[in-house]
Amino acid sequence: MIGGLGVGLLVALLLVAWRLSSGPVSISFLTPYMQQALDDVHEGAFDVTVADTILTWAGWERTLDIRIVNLRTTLPSGELVASIPEVSISLSAQALATGTVAPRSVEFFGPRLKVVRHADGQFAVGFSGTTQGSEDFVASLIMVMLQDPDPTRAMSYLKRISVVAGEVTFEDQGLGTTWFAPSADAAFTRAEGGLKAELDLDLQAGDKLAAVSVLGNYSPSGKRVDLGVSFEDVTPAAFAGLSDKVAVMGALDLPISGTVTLSVEQNGRIEGFGFDLAGTNGHLALPVPLAARLGALSWAQRFGVDALEISGRYDGGADVLDITRLSLTAQSGETLYVPAPVYHAVPVKTLETALRYAAATGQLDISGLTMDVGGPRVEISAQLANLKADALKPGLFADVTATAYNVPFDGLERLWPKGLADDVRTWVLEGLSKGIADRATVSAALRPAPGGTTRLASLAGDMQGHGIAVKYVSTLRSEESRVGKECRYWRPEQHTI
């Protein structure tokens, strides 16, 4: 008996599929219910019209679809709010049990959406090429899912809104930028305590498309949105030309993949964000236009990297950026140029560090910076102040200590810049050869100088090594030491930049 019923249902399904394979079937008797449900959401603020409601075969994965054809929403004045060629509807069994025809899910096919972040941080979602009223239309659909089901309001049974193969334009009025995704799928789902969102899009980045996925949660009680963003092969420098306010993205001229987590208050204020990123085969750069804006034109340069990893967190309340790990492997033969008063190109193979920047005070702390400079290892710690971008530049405060290990004396010239303790440098480079500097430490202090410049206030250091050939007098032969030698020096400098 049961087996025969199953066979009968299968045969019926096959017959329906065969019938619908030749074209959709009109079920226009549902059209008034659909129109009324949409009208109720907006309490008569919009006029909703539907050309037809059809039953169509959407393939074995989706089977039967109820679809609204040519949904149009207008203001009472006749201005277009939304026009969508097709909308898929699934009916709520819970509502049908009470005698109500109500949608459980709504799926929009191919809409052109526009997301706007206003200058005050507020977000709005609407349809491209329509009136501002479309923002209210979309917001009403989303907010109705935050309400408990009500038999007198059909749309209150709605649990899911989806977008399939849509276009998304994102306008950030605060940054003065516009981003475009020619292909996007999205879903908003009713969840306990709020809404969940999923978004997959191809973001236009120059002449390339970058795959970006977003997961989000909205909590009405907490009045906040938590987002997780993952992406692959996004080159930030491709977006640097969108606005002067995002020109800093020009510093990352390499494809980057990774995740970003973000917490945003309902008023648009960023509570904080975390990031875990990796990039390969490109450049870190300080472009000339950006360097000029920052008052650091002498630092403008490009640095080739084979690999980059960076992770950390930004605290929006304290306005503090913590980079807990920055690791890079340089391209072969790369050097990092340090301008006045150093004037030196440092060869770099690898670099690892952590840093912390407090915007309120303009202080940057660099800790545990370790570099492989082609054999020798260099460790650096530094504290820098007066780095506030919006402040009058009184000159730089900086205290830097660097220690190099296992440096061949015959290669010391590559690491010791001209202009730093020149008399000691000359004596060491001309008088010492062969052997190894087991450890060489230098401490420098930079202080503000008149006219907003910076002076090298002091320089001190010491060096220990072994196997050194010492030329005591230039006319005499060299004597090779059989024990370790130690050199100490200190000299205040008056160089300004």
pLDDT in tens, 250-275: 888 999 999 999 888 877 777 889 99
Does pLDDT of 128 surpass 90?
Answer: no
pLDDT in tens, 339-357: 776 778 888 999 999 999 8
Structure-token match 């998304």, residue found: 168
> What is the three-class DSSP state of 291?
helix
**Is the pLDDT higher at 33 or at 11?**
33
Taking the C-alpha atoms of residue 251 and residue 18, their distance in angstroms, rounded to an integer, is: 58
State the pairing for strand pair 123-127/160-172: unpaired
**Is the pLDDT higher at 133 or at 221?**
221
Closest to 415 measured CA to CA, from 439, 384, 445: 439
Q: How far is CA 312 from the centre of its chain?
A: 12
Per-residue exposure over 256-276, b if at least 16 CB sit within 10 Å of its own CB, e if not: bbbeebbbbeeeeeeeebbbb
Tokens at 169, concatenated: 């334009």
Minimum mean pLDDT range among 17-31, 314-328, 460-474: 17-31
pLDDT in tens, 87-126: 888 888 888 888 888 888 889 998 888 888 888 777 788 8
The angle formed by the CA atoms of residues 63, 65 and 69, to the nearest 5 degrees, is 150
Confidence of residue 8 (pLDDT cuts 50, 70, 90): very low
Ranges 14-18, 185-189, 190-194, 392-396, most confident: 185-189
pLDDT score at 15: 53
Contact call for residues 230 and 203 (beta carbons, < 8 A): no
Closest to 150 measured CA to CA, from 35, 39, 67, 40: 40
What number is the average pLDDT over the span 433-444? 87
Taking the C-alpha atoms of residue 395 and residue 230, their distance in angstroms, rounded to an integer, is: 40
Helix axis angle for 31-42 and 133-144, nearest 10°, is 100
Q: What is the DSSP secondary structure assignment for residue 153, as one 8-state letter? A: B
Structure-token match 């920047």, residue found: 357
Does pLDDT of 277 surpass 50?
Answer: yes
Minimum mean pLDDT range among 161-165, 214-218, 288-292, 431-435: 288-292
Give this prediction's pTM: 0.74
**Is the pLDDT higher at 139 or at 327?**
327
pLDDT score at 340: 72
